[in-house]
A = this chain, B = another copy of it.
Amino acid sequence: MSADPQVPLRADARRNRDQIIAAARSIFSDFGPEVPMEEIARAAGVGVGTLYRRFPDRDALIRAVAVDNFARVLDDARQAAEQEPTAWLALVRLLHQSVELHLSVQLAMLSKKAHEILKEDPAIASLRDELLVELEAMVRGAQREGTLRPDVAEGDVALLFALLLRQLESRSPEVTRLSTERSIAIMIDGLKAQPGTPLPGRPLSRHDIH
Contacts and interface: CB of A to CB of B under 8 A. Distances in A.
Contact of A115 (B109, B169, B189, B201): B169
B34 A175 contact: no
Contact of A172 (B109, B115, B119, B210): B210
A162 B171 contact: no
B188 A197 contact: yes
A182 B162 contact: no
Interface stretch (A3-11, A65-73, A136-144, A152-160): A152-160
Contacts of A209: 171, 175
A182 B196 contact: no
A186 B199 contact: yes
B187 A159 contact: no
A110 interface: yes
Interface string A158-192: 01101110101111100100110111011111111
Given A109-B169, A169-B115, A185 B200 contact: yes
Nearest to A177: B201
A111 interface: yes
A112 B197 CA distance: 36
A150 interface: no
Interface of A: 30-32, 34, 109-113, 115-116, 119, 152, 155-156, 159-160, 162-164, 166, 168-172, 175, 178-179, 181-183, 185-192, 194, 196-197, 199-202, 204, 208-210
A-B pairs with the 7 shortest C-beta distances? A190-B190, A186-B190, A189-B190, A189-B196, A115-B170, A178-B201, A159-B179
